Amino acid sequence: MSLEALILTLRLAVLVSLILMAISLPLGYWLAMSRWRWKFFVEAIVALPIVLPPTVLGYYVLVAIGPLSPVGRWYRDVTGGSLAFSFRGLVVGSVLYSLPFAVQPIGAAFSSVDRNLLNASATLGASRWRTFWLVVFPLGLPGVLTGFVLSFAHTLGEFGVVLMIGGNIPGATQTISIWIYDQVQSLNYAAANQMAALLLIVCFVILTLLYGLRRTRKWGVWGWQ
Amino acid sequence: MGRVGVAVSVAAPPVRADALKIEVRKVLGNPAAKGRGLAVEARFNVATGFTILFGPSGAGKTTILDCVAGLQKPDSGRIRVNDETFFDSEKQVNVATRYRNIGYLFQTVALFPHMTVRQNIEYGLAQLDARERQARSGEIAGSFGIAGLLDRRPAKISGGERQRVALARALVTCPKALLLDEPMSALDRNTKSRILDDLRVWNEDHAVPILYVTHEREEVYALGDRVLVVEAGKIVAEGTPHEVLSRPQRESIAQLAGFENIFDCSVVAAHPDQGTMTCRIDRSEVTLEVPLTRVPTGRSIRVGIRAGDILLASSQPQDLSARNIIGGKITSLTQQDITVVADIDCGANFTVHLTLGARQSLGLATGKPVWLVLKTYSCHVLQ
């Protein structure tokens, strides 16, 4: 059991899910409300990480943030460090990799909010900002929660992207899944088993809680009606 | 914010004939494609008090309301409320919905399901402080009979109560105009009329223009100050409910106005001295004497007759002023609520409405010969 890898993974997952919330609330709202004719294009891009092999995504992110790319050079000029093979680089990659798991449930929940409620809100003098926080967000909360939990769980278990852009540096980029892989490679099955079981239990508990909550009336999308 | 409009009883505001001026042109979909688009083109003024927009579904009534509220943007036109311009395509004015202060009651009620009745009512009062909000919501809840429901969620109250809450929520902000989109269609008649009475009382003090959309003619008669008939996006008739619905000039209004019998006829003879003309129902030998129109002899006309305007006799009546007495046989008798619907074959098929008592005392049964009695002025010539 490597406490270092465990803590690093948890840090990564919490940070990534929080960043994803900041991205997915506006993006999900836009996807739910926009009538832009090229919206499907954005939807396809958002969904890409679901079907793309993590190594492909990881490869492109690595090239994009590497020291030879404009982004990588700019980052080095500003911070003096490198994004590739660093914890921050992992965060960038994981945010991209888990994006659909946050955006899709949130967008779906927002678009299931009755448009007449938004119209009613506008006729009662509310701005879009106010309507979002008083109507859309509370009614879409189950979807927001689902998006948060799924992106957290997904980041916990990611492997390919992390390996491609983070490498395997203990304390900096070595996450649980990579640590488990290492143990198996060196035939250290007992240690791998412990960590794998822990990850399995944690993910199972999270998903059970999530689906259990959704069953109760208060958290159902239309639980109030 | 001041105490404007809080329980201040002032003299009734003046009635204005043009409190709401609407001129809207908007093309929805592709009107050239059959059954697919609609070109809305309406221009009318709404006075303070009730004005009814009446017409079949899909006629564009809701589109007009949405344009007034700013939820849809007209292609061109002008919308003014009390001399304040909300939309003007020429001057490029388009005030956002939230700055228009127009109350809108949706067909779906649209109460916020996650808020209590009180929170719903106070939703539009965000700019007031908490005490002021409470005072206002309490007052309006009192006048709409929902003071006991303030802490409940919309799911826990009845359909009629939900309508009352939606109305209170719209009115508590003192809107400059009120739009109602078939808001009562799901309610029974008593509940509906009680709610409308409360609305009428409220409007005696506020005198705002109220635009009420419906496709039910009972509501038109019940509400009735003024009716505008909308058909395929255009205003095709206007007047008091009685004027518009009892002497309909168009077939579509006739169907809405409740003509169960509509016949294609050809004019056989005109009797200008008597103010009538004789016409024969197509593909039958039945002739009707109808009010005189300018349609020349030989041409086709369409005649509408209400099922309730036809008398039924079990033997051939004599010495009557009614000009149309037509013999036939009952082909079917069905009961709908407390009305008996009789279908009678006279060569042409007539539908007649009777009371239960009339069926009994005449001993009506299927196959029995009967005579229909029709006054000339019960036959309406439709354009």
Measured distance CA(B32)–CA(B57) in Å, rounded? 19
**A223 has pLDDT over 60:** no
Percent of chain A with pLDDT over 90: 54
H/E element, B79 = strand B76-81
Structure confidence at residue B252 (pLDDT): 65
Interface with A, mutate which of B63, B94, B99, B104 (most A CBs under 10 A): B104
Locate CATH 2.40.50.100 in chain B: 259-382
Q: Who has greater pLDDT, B337 or B169?
A: B169
Please give the Cα distance from B172 to B212 (Å, whole number). 19
CATH 3.40.50.300-classified regions of chain B = 20-101+174-255
Q: Does domain B259-382 have CATH number 2.40.50.100?
A: yes
Kindly list the residues from chain B whose CB atom is less than 8 angstroms away from the CB atom of residue A134. 112, 123
Q: Where are the alpha helices (DSSP H) in chain B?
A: 61-69, 97-100, 117-122, 130-143, 159-171, 189-206, 217-223, 241-246, 251-257, 356-362
Residue of A nearest to B179 (CA): A123
CB B64 within 8 A of CB B224: no
| Partners of residue A127 in chain B, C-beta under 8 Å | 98
The per-residue pLDDT for B93 is: 93
Higher pLDDT, A174 or B74: B74
Among chain A, residues having any CB pair with chain B shorter than 8 Å are 114, 116-117, 119-127, 130, 134-135, 138-139, 222, 224-225
User: Bigger pLDDT: B180 or A169?
Assistant: B180
**Which two structure tokens, joined as six digits, stand for B380?**
């309406």
Check whether domain B20-101+174-255 has CATH 3.30.1540.20, yes or no: no
Interface check for B51 against chain A (CB to CB < 8 A): the answer is no
Which chain A residue lies closest to B113 (C-alpha atoms)?
Answer: A224
Detail the DSSP E strand segments found in B218-338: 226-231, 234-239, 261-271, 276-281, 287-291, 300-305, 311-313, 324-336
Q: Is the pLDDT of residue B302 over 50?
A: yes
The answer to whether B155 faces chain A, any CB pair under 8 Å, is yes
Q: What tens digit of pLDDT does each residue of A84-103 get?
A: 888 888 999 999 999 999 99
Q: Check pLDDT > 80 for residue B245.
A: no
Q: Are the C-beta atoms of residues A95 and A19 closer than 8 Å to each other?
A: yes
Which of B71, B100, B113 shows the shortest C-beta gap to A119?
Answer: B71
Percent of chain A with pLDDT over 70: 96
Between CA B283 and CA A20 the distance in angstroms is 74
Residue of B nearest to A131 (CA): B123
Interval B283-297 mean pLDDT: 89
Determine the Cα–Cα distance for residues B193 and B186; give it in Å rounded to an integer: 13
Minimal CA separation from A118 to chain B, in Å: 9
pLDDT of residue B180: 94
Question: ∠ CA B95-B99-B100 to the nearest 5 degrees?
Answer: 75
Q: What is the ipTM of this complex?
A: 0.81
Q: Which of B67, B81, B106, B157 to mutate to test the interface with A (most CBs of A within 10 A)?
A: B106
pLDDT of residue B8: 47
- Average pLDDT of the residues in B2-16: 54
Cβ–Cβ of B126/A122 closer than 8 Å? no
Closest approach of B110 to chain A, Cα-based (Å)? 5
Quick one: which H or E segment has residue A203? helix A189-215
What is the model's pLDDT at position B32? 67
Instruction: Provide the number of CB pairs (under 8 Å) joining chain A to chain B.
Output: 69
User: A225 pLDDT exceeds 50?
Assistant: no
- pTM exceeds 0.80 for this model: no
User: What's the rounded mean pLDDT across residues B70-98?
Assistant: 94
Of the partner residues B99, B110, B155, the one whose CB lies closest to the CB of residue A114: B110
For chain B positions 196-255, those within 8 Å of chain A (CB to CB) are none
Biggest CA-to-CA distance, chain B: 77
Chain B residues 52-111 with a CB less than 8 Å from chain A: 69-71, 96-104, 106, 108, 110-111
Write the secondary structure of A119-170 as one string of H (helix), E (strand) and C (coil).
Answer: HHHHHCCCCHHHHHHHHHHHHHHHHHHHHHHHHHHHHHCCCHHHHHHHCCCC
Per-residue pLDDT band at B260 (split at 50, 70, 90)? confident
**Structure confidence at residue B5 (pLDDT):** 44
CATH architecture of A3-219: Orthogonal Bundle (1.10)
Q: B140: closest CA among B107, B106, B117?
A: B117
Helix (H, G, I), strand (E, B) or coil at B9: coil
Q: What is the mean pLDDT of chain B?
A: 86
**Token code pair at residue B362:** 């005449």
Dump pLDDT digits (tens) for B107-143: 888 999 999 999 999 999 998 999 999 999 999 999 8
Please give the Cα distance from B259 to B252 (Å, whole number): 10
Integer Cα distance of B38 and B31 in angstroms = 5
Domain range summary for chain A, segments of one domain joined by +:
3-219
Q: Residue B31's pLDDT band (boundaries 50, 70, 90)?
A: low
Indicate yes or no: CB of B104 within 8 angstroms of CB of A135.
Answer: no
With beta carbons under 8 A apart, name residues in chain A contacting B67: none
Q: Which residues in chain A are closer than 8 Å to B154, comparing Cβ atoms? A: 224-225
Average pLDDT over residues B226-249: 80
Amino acid making up residue B161: E
